[in-house]
Chain A
Amino acid sequence: MFKIKLEQKERVSKREELIITLSAIGIAFVLSGIFIALNGVNPFVALWKVITSALGSPYGISETLVKAIPLIFTGLSVAIALNSKLWNIGAEGQLFFGATLATAFIIYGPVLPKPLEITVLIILGAIGGALWAAIPALLKIKFKMNEVISTLLLNYVAINIADYFLFGPWKGKDNFPYTPEFPPEARFSRIGFGRVHAGLILALVLVVLLYILIYHTKTGYKMRLTGSSLKAAKYAGINIKKTMFMVFLMSGALAGLAGVSQICGIEYKLHQHISTGYGYTGIIVAWLARTNPFIIVIFAIFLSILLKGADSLQIAMRLPAAVGVVMQALILFAILGSELFKNYNVKLIRGK
């Protein structure tokens, strides 16, 4: 029988860390290849298809970016919570609730001039997401309820509420569960590269603002200290409950923005598939990026390549749509498993 012996590394070089991460991603691709091969598709052909469809043409690149936009928002959402050691597994629900609230304004409110209309929708989306995140926040702060479970359960409820409107009062003309198309005033402008829309600019501005907030303000310091040590935070006189609540609201607002960005930037209506699990993929983005907003952009793009590639595998090679989810899970596993090798020298020794 073999035993694993761990020796703490004294220092990990950036280069070593990068090699380990890349190897992990490589392993994830090999494992994905096995899945793909089980379905009778040549995995090398499939991998080539993923890369070429996502990056091989201006059209592919633009569609990949389109998918990266919601992932930047949800990645930021999860990351800002994680920064204070809070798990927001509810970005998916907050995305839907934000989108639903913004849609309510489009349906019941007046049509305002475009800049005003867009501003109102963005604010409402953020408020919607924040409201939905306020529930688990209060449950945690007042009743110590584990936020992993509460945020997750509320995803189902938020999606159900959207369904209620889609199958009820907002049902489309032909009885299908989607709202009428939004007026031009409620649509984000395109930035001149395929379907890439102004949501990208909003996302990137938030990346910069959040970076400043987290690393260069007193509030950010409080948030980080709450995350690194509750004791230290308490000792430093930080109101932990207030900080947690604020972090949750910000996290929810960011997820809500993903929802607005989807309905006003791409779909131009509310329907059941405005998100293909962006809230969950955001967890992977945040985990991989280790809460640094700039690195979130990189991993959001990385995962959007995968999502775009998986779409093409589904269409061109008739692989089940779930191939994308499987690949994401394998990447998460591989990176998660590789952490050990970053901090320790792992040796196999013969033991009893």
Chain B
Amino acid sequence: MNDIITILYAAIASGTIILYATIGEIITERSGILNLGVEGIMLMGAFFGFYVAYTTESLILAILGAAVIGGLMGLIHAFMTITLQANQVVSGLALTMFGTGASAFFGVSMVGKTLKTSFDVIPIPLLSKIPILGEVLFNHNILVYFAFILPVIIWFIFNRTRWGLALRSSGEEPLSSEIMGIKVIKIRYIATIVGGVFIGISGAYLSVAYSRLWVEGMTAGKGWITIALVIFANWNPLIAYGGAYLFGGLTQLGLNLQKFNIPFPIILLKSIPYVFTLLFLLFISIKGKRSNLPKALGESYFRESRG
């Protein structure tokens, strides 16, 4: 029983990493921009967040720093794909390569360092006392709690505000949106930058709150898993919960196979997240429901083509 609580607790804690990034990528993709640079942005956020936390000992500055660096990475992608109309796949790959390289380049000085400050666990009064559920859900740090409400906020913005409508129509029908007076280019810029902000924060959560270490390439493919989970979540922030925590849970379950006396080579456990991600995608492909896929996702938008 205790094992199961531990696993569920870890599922929430590790799912949070992916949840932030998934929300960020959903925002970006909903505007019509495919950002495959998630892995690189996360790494930059993880490095810079850790660096700021280490040097200033301020956690707020660390998260802000990661948000800014994530936003800047988003800006690079926006500039490349929107203004210079570069291929979105290649620009995303370049961004991943850049983030991986630059974080490792500057991160050398942070390897092996430990943080003096950390995000404290804040048990929520009353709720944390609920048996099992309280322990699993309401005994976390502030970033985990914020991740509980973030998808709801984003869902609300998507579906109940003018901004959300403008964002979604930019991703569906950029040309007619422009005619309706929506500034597609501006919206796509904002969405890509804001998406980068949340992806950057996910990196900082990973390095500053979750593992409290900076390790080169520490995201280990989580950025790519995120991109898969966006598809799994059908671009819906609310389903992103399910995707992120379910994924966190299955991964933790896999990593704890030995606890249940299931013989499996320990080294191969590392593959579990990637295999699960492929299975998630397979499941979605077979089910065949991708109703929210933004129609204009990945296509360059030429304003001049209005003629």
Point out residues on A near B: beta carbons under 8 Å.
4-6, 35, 38-39, 87, 89, 139, 143-146, 148-150, 152-154, 156-157, 160-161, 163-164, 167-168, 280, 283, 287, 319-330, 332-333, 336-337, 339-340
Contacts and interface: CB of A to CB of B under 8 A. Distances in A.
Nearest to B34: A148
Contacts of A329: 94-95, 97-98, 101-102
Contact of B86 (A39, A153, A154, A336): A336
A153 B270 contact: no
A139 B278 contact: yes
Contacts of A325: 97, 100-101, 104-105
A149 B274 contact: no
Interface string B90-132: 1101110110111111101000000000000000000000000
Contact of B278 (A150, A168, A283, A328): A150
A153 B228 contact: yes
Interface stretch (B56-64, B171-179, B192-200, B218-226): B218-226
Interface of B: 36, 76, 80, 83-87, 89-91, 93-95, 97-98, 100-106, 108, 216, 220-221, 224-225, 227-228, 231, 265, 267-268, 270-271, 274-275, 277-278, 281-282, 285-286, 302, 304
A6 B304 contact: yes
Among B268, B270, B274, chain A packs the most CB atoms within 10 A around the CB of B274
A339 B286 CA distance: 38
A93 to B, nearest CB: 10
Contacts of B224: 149, 152-153
Contact of A149 (B94, B216, B228, B302): B228
Given A149-B228, A160-B268, A322-B102, A333 B221 contact: no
Contacts of B304: 5-6
A6 B301 CA distance: 13
A154 B278 CA distance: 9
A321 B216 CA distance: 11
Contacts of A35: 102, 105
Given A145-B285, A149-B228, A326-B101, A160 B90 contact: no
Nearest to A164: B267
A5 B274 CA distance: 44
A4 B302 CA distance: 11
B101 A157 contact: no
